[in-house]
Amino acid sequence: MRNSYGRRRFFFPFFILMALFAFSFAVYWLWNNVLVAVVPVKAVTFWQAMGLLILSRILLGGFKAGGPAGRPNFGGPGRPPWREKWRQMSEEERAKFKNEWRRRGGDNS
C-alpha cells in the first residue's frame, strides 16, 4: 500500500503539469479560433495563452487547493450538518420549522 501512495505522489506533479499544458492549449485554440473571428483582438501564442490562464487564475480564482477553508463542512463523512439537527428535533419542532419556511418562501400549499 505504501508503494502505491509513493507512486501517486511521484506522478502528481506530472499530472498537474500536463493539465496546465492541456488547459493552456484549450485557451490558445479557443482564443485564436473563436475570439479572433468574433472580437477585434490579435492572435496569441501558446505561451501567451498559458500566461493568460495563470493570470486569470490569480485574479479571479486564486490557487486554493481545498483544505478546511475550501471544502464545505458536512459534519462527518458525507453528512450535511443540518441532518443531525433535524434528527434531534421533535415532531412539533419539525412542523414549526416547515411552516416557517413555507411562510418565508410564499408556499401556501
**pLDDT 10s digits, 70-96:** 555 555 566 677 778 888 889 999 899
Higher pLDDT, 108 or 39: 39
Task: Give the separation between CA 62 and CA 54, rounded to whole angstroms.
Answer: 9
Q: Are the CB atoms for 94 and 86 separated by under 8 Å?
A: yes
pLDDT tens, position by position, 1-31: 556 666 777 788 899 899 999 999 999 999 9
CA-to-CA separations, 35 to 10, 61, 63, 68, 108, in angstroms, rounded: 38, 22, 26, 38, 49
Identify whether 82 is part of a domain: no
Identify whether 94 is part of a domain: no
The count of structural domains within the chain is: 1
Identify whether 44 is part of a domain: yes
* pLDDT score recorded for residue 109: 55
Identify whether 89 is part of a domain: no
For the residues 46-62, what does the mean pLDDT come to?
A: 90
Identify whether 87 is part of a domain: no
* pLDDT score recorded for residue 23: 94
Grid cell digits, residue 92: 412539533
Grid cell digits, residue 97: 420549522
The conformation of residue 76, written as its DSSP 8-state character, comes to S
Identify whether 55 is part of a domain: yes
In terms of C-beta density within 10 A (0-12 exposed, 13-18 middle, 19 or more buried), how is residue 103 classed?
exposed
- Identify the domain containing residue 2 by its residue range: 1-63
Identify whether 15 is part of a domain: yes
Residue owning grid cell 496546465: 20
Identify whether 95 is part of a domain: no
Find the radius of gyration of the CA atoms of the chain: 24
For the residues 41-63, what does the mean pLDDT come to?
A: 90
pLDDT confidence tier of residue 103, bands split at 50, 70 and 90: confident
Quote the mean pLDDT of the chain: 81
The model's pTM: 0.51
